């Protein structure tokens, strides 16, 4: 029977939760004073849903993340494939998930893991109660690293293909796509993975509904224009050649404000939404919907957020601001926020 009160509880074991557990140990918190809650401990959506996806960030950025925490012990780890990759290139997210799964195992041997979904949070007498399906633990501080779900626009009458299926050409191959007309909403990195995957299937037509011109990331030495919202890597190359270049024969594009929108959507029998992500929620009846301060990650006294659900925000030298999503950004945000969190208890 493990203790039920902790100094820190981290909810979520995706990249952001892994980084938080690592950095808490690095900052001197005793591992047995940390509880770590997740139903799977399989590197989150990053490991489960997106591992076949080609990254939009470089191998060097992932290596930076993997080496960022001494608690990760990455340098002492096995000979992962990523060690042999060109640091300037992109790679599959699965090649990053492999060492992250190994790191999860090392951290899980040191902290107290709770394999469950947290269902409710309450603050009483300056302690957080974290309810799971089967138990309750209490904690001085809680970090939410619970990730986000892909957004759906829920147009009626069209069969939705989940994003995690559409980004995986093998899973997509098992869908009933013969002669189908497929709508794809969005113009994000995911869109540029889904469109070529669909073009490899026996679909009759694809209609890409978009809201704005494509946006490409451009590096300027110490900063990157559209670093978080711009297209990068293979996705950018594919978009330049096929959407801003020569449109493939079976692909049509339609602005969502175009008068033909209803007619074109009416012709589609299936749909993929690549329109961003919605933060997951945990019931916290005292507070209503939990919102974080993007500058410091604070949600409430002793309650903090990190990762894709609670990202940082940065304004670039031109004055343009973006939410910061990606493994390197999570570590940067933690390094900026953790010293504050350590003193902002309930
Ligand atoms: C197509 C695509 C390409 C991408 N490319 C890159 C890239 O090149 N580089 C990069 O750095 N990033 C990339 N990303 C982003 C990256 O995948 C996500 O940002 C990352 O998965 C977010 O990590 P996270 O830890 O915040 O959330 P997740 O990975 O979603 O992990 C959240 C974890 O919390 C758990 N959880 C949720 N609710 C609860 C609860 N109530 N109780 C307990 N546990 C809970 C979940 O089960 C999950 O294990 C990409 C994403 C996509 C979709």
CA angle 97, 98, 101 (to 5 degrees): 80
Q: Where do we find the tokens 């209490």? A: 138
CB of 47 shorter than 6 A to ligand 1: no
Residue of 47, 104, 308 to test ligand 1 pocket, by largest number of atoms within 8 Å of CB:
308
Nearest atom in ligand 1 to the alpha carbon of residue 55 is: 8
Mark which of 223, 244, 273 sits at the end of a domain.
273
pLDDT tens profile 216-263: 999 999 999 999 999 998 899 999 999 999 999 999 999 999 999 999
CA angle 117, 160, 169 (to 5 degrees): 85
Least confident of 53-62, 182-191, 243-252, 283-292: 283-292
Least confident of 164-178, 251-265, 278-292, 328-342: 278-292
Q: Does 346 fall in a domain? A: no
| Residue 17 CA, ligand 1 centroid: distance in Å | 9
- Give me the pLDDT at residue 134, please: 85
In sequence order, the β-bridge partners of residue 231 are 216
- Give me the pLDDT at residue 2, please: 62
Check whether 130 has a pLDDT greater than 80.
yes
CB of 302 shorter than 6 A to ligand 1: no
Name the residue range of residue 230's domain: 152-273
Q: Where do we find the tokens 């004073």? A: 33
d(CA 72, CA 25): 10
How many angstroms separate the Cα of 76 from the Cα of each of 99, 102, 106, 318? 11, 11, 11, 41
Number of domains observed in the structure of the chain: 2
d(CA 240, CA 237): 5
Residue 81 DSSP label? G
CB of 168 shorter than 6 A to ligand 1: no
CB of 128 shorter than 6 A to ligand 1: no
Q: Does 205 fall in a domain? A: yes
Identify whether the C-beta of residue 21 lies closer than 8 Å to the C-beta of residue 145.
no
| Residue 25 CA, ligand 1 centroid: distance in Å | 21
Q: Does 177 share its domain with 41?
A: no
Q: How many CB atoms lie within 10 A of CB 40?
A: 13
Residue of 9, 18, 36, 38 to test ligand 1 pocket, by largest number of atoms within 8 Å of CB:
38
Q: Does 156 share its domain with 33?
A: no
Identify whether the C-beta of residue 164 lies closer than 8 Å to the C-beta of residue 194.
no
Nearest atom in ligand 1 to the alpha carbon of residue 62 is: 11
pLDDT tens profile 53-111: 999 899 999 999 999 999 999 999 999 999 999 999 999 999 999 999 999 999 999 99
Q: Does 140 share its domain with 156?
A: no
CA angle 142, 279, 217 (to 5 degrees): 115
CB of 68 shorter than 6 A to ligand 1: no
Strands (E), 127-266: 127-132, 136-144, 148-150, 159-160, 181-185, 205-210, 218-219, 224-225, 251-255
Identify whether the C-beta of residue 64 lies closer than 8 Å to the C-beta of residue 335.
no
| Residue 20 CA, ligand 1 centroid: distance in Å | 13
Tell me which residue has its CA closest to atom 21 in ligand 1.
46
Q: Does 136 share its domain with 233?
A: no
CB of 231 shorter than 6 A to ligand 1: no
CATH of the domain at 172: 3.50.50.60
CB of 326 shorter than 6 A to ligand 1: yes
d(CA 331, CA 333): 5
CB of 331 shorter than 6 A to ligand 1: no
Mark which of 273, 305, 321 sits at the end of a domain.
273
Q: Does 209 share its domain with 252?
A: yes
Identify whether the C-beta of residue 56 lies closer than 8 Å to the C-beta of residue 90.
yes
| Residue 205 CA, ligand 1 centroid: distance in Å | 31
**For residue 221, what are the contacts with CB-CB under 8 A and spacing of at least 6?**
none
Q: Does 177 share its domain with 309?
A: no
How many angstroms separate the Cα of 217 from the Cα of each of 230, 231, 275? 4, 6, 18
| Residue 15 CA, ligand 1 centroid: distance in Å | 7
d(CA 60, CA 217): 17
CB of 10 shorter than 6 A to ligand 1: no
CB of 146 shorter than 6 A to ligand 1: yes
| Residue 44 CA, ligand 1 centroid: distance in Å | 5
CB of 17 shorter than 6 A to ligand 1: yes
Q: Does 32 fall in a domain? A: yes
Nearest atom in ligand 1 to the alpha carbon of residue 325 is: 19
CB of 18 shorter than 6 A to ligand 1: no
At 333, list the tokens. Answer: 């945000």
Q: Does 180 share its domain with 257?
A: yes
| Residue 43 CA, ligand 1 centroid: distance in Å | 8
Q: Does 55 fall in a domain? A: yes
Closest CA to 325 of 183, 204, 192, 229: 229
Q: Does 133 share its domain with 162?
A: no
Q: What is the mean pLDDT of the chain?
A: 96
Check whether 1 has a pLDDT greater than 60.
no
At 111, list the tokens. Answer: 């902290």
CB of 121 shorter than 6 A to ligand 1: no
Q: Does 239 share its domain with 269?
A: yes
- Give me the pLDDT at residue 157, please: 92
Helix axes 59-68, 15-26, angle to 10 degrees: 40
Identify whether the C-beta of residue 307 lies closer than 8 Å to the C-beta of residue 169.
no
Burial (CB count <10 Å: 0-12, 13-18, 19+), residue 315: exposed
Q: Does 284 share its domain with 235?
A: no
Q: Does 162 fall in a domain? A: yes
Q: Does 124 share its domain with 195?
A: no
Q: Does 167 share its domain with 86?
A: no
Identify whether the C-beta of residue 66 lies closer than 8 Å to the C-beta of residue 7.
no
**Residue 10 in 3-state DSSP?**
strand
Mark which of 220, 255, 273 sits at the end of a domain.
273
- Give me the pLDDT at residue 147, please: 98
User: Per-residue pLDDT averaged across 109-130, rounded?
Assistant: 96
């Amino acid at each position: 029977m493990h203790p039920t009160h902790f100094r820190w509880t981290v909810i979520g074991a995706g990249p952001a939760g892994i980084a938080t557990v690592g950095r808490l140990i690095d900052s001197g918190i005793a591992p047995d004073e940390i509880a770590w809650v997740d139903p799977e401990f399989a590197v989150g959506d990053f490991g489960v849903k997106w591992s076949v996806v080609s990254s939009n960030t470089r191998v060097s950025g992932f290596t930076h993340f993997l080496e960022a925490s001494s608690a990760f012990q990455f340098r002492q780890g096995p000979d992962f494939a990523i060690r042999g990759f060109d640091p300037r290139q992109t790679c599959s997210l699965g090649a990053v998930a492999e060492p992250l799964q190994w790191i999860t195992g090392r951290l899980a041997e040191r902290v107290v893991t709770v394999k469950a979904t947290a269902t409710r949070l309450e603050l009483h007498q300056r302690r957080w109660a974290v309810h799971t399906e089967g138990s309750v633990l209490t904690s001085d501080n809680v970090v939410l690293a619970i990730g986000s779900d892909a957004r759906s626009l829920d147009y009626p009458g069209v069969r939705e293909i989940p994003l995690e299926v559409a980004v995986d050409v093998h899973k997509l191959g098992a869908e009933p796509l013969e002669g189908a007309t497929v709508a794809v909403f969005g113009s994000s990195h995911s869109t540029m993975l889904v469109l070529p995957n669909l073009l490899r299937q026996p679909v009759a037509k694809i209609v890409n509904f978009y809201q704005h011109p494509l946006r490409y990331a451009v590096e300027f030495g110490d900063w990157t224009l559209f670093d978080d919202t711009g297209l990068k890597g293979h996705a950018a190359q594919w978009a330049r050649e096929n959407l801003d270049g020569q449109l493939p024969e079976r692909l049509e594009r339609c602005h969502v404000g175009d008068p033909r929108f209803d007619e074109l959507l009416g012709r589609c029998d299936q749909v993929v939404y690549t329109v961003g992500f919605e933060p997951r929620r945990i019931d916290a009846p005292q507070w209503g919907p939990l919102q974080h301060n993007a500058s410091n990650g604070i949600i409430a006294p002793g309650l903090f957020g990190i990762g894709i659900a609670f990202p940082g925000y940065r304004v670039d030298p031109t004055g343009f601001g973006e939410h910061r999503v990606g493994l390197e950004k999570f570590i940067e945000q933690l390094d900026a926020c953790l010293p504050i969190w350590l003193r902002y208890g309930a």
